Structure 1
Amino acid sequence: MVIVSIKDGDLILQVKGIGKVLALRNELVIPLNHVRGVTADPGAFSMPRGLRAPGTSIPGLLYAGTFYHKGEKVFWEVHNPAKAVVIELAEEDFTRLVIEVENPNDVVSSIEDAIA
Structure 2
Amino acid sequence: MARVSIEDGRLIVEMEGLGKVWALKSRLVIPLEHVRGATADPGIVKEPKGLRAPGTHFPGVITSGTFHGKDGKVFWDVRDAARAVVIELVDEPYARLVVEVQDPRSTVALVEGAIPAR
Using the size of structure 2 for normalisation, the TM-score is 0.96
Aligned match of 1:85: 85
Alpha-carbon shift at residue 2 of structure 1 (Å): 0.2
Are residue 14 (structure 1) and residue 33 (structure 2) matched? Answer: no
Task: Give aligned-pair identity as a percent.
Answer: 57
After superposition, the CA RMSD in angstroms is 0.8
Alpha-carbon shift at residue 71 of structure 1 (Å): 4.7
- 1:48, 1:57 → 2: CA distance? 12
Aligned match of 1:76: 76
Aligned match of 1:101: 101
SS in 2 for 1:54: strand
Alpha-carbon shift at residue 81 of structure 1 (Å): 0.1
Using the size of structure 1 for normalisation, the TM-score is 0.98
- 2:101, 2:37 → 1: CA distance? 16
Structure 1 runs not aligned, ≥5 long = none
Check whether the contact 2:37–2:112 (CA below 8 A) recurs between aligned residues. Answer: yes
**Where in structure 1 do 4 or more consecutive aligned residues deviate above 4 Å?**
none
How many residues end up aligned between the 2 structures? Answer: 116
Are residue 25 (structure 1) and residue 25 (structure 2) matched? Answer: yes
- 2:9, 2:110 → 1: CA distance? 13
Are residue 37 (structure 1) and residue 37 (structure 2) matched? Answer: yes
2:19 aligned partner, one-letter code: G
Are residue 62 (structure 1) and residue 70 (structure 2) matched? Answer: no
Alpha-carbon shift at residue 29 of structure 1 (Å): 0.1
1:27 aligned partner, one-letter code: R
Alpha-carbon shift at residue 37 of structure 1 (Å): 1.2
Are residue 111 (structure 1) and residue 97 (structure 2) matched? Answer: no
SS in 2 for 1:106: helix
- 1:47, 1:85 → 2: CA distance? 14
Alpha-carbon shift at residue 60 of structure 1 (Å): 1.4
Structure 2 runs not aligned, ≥5 long = none
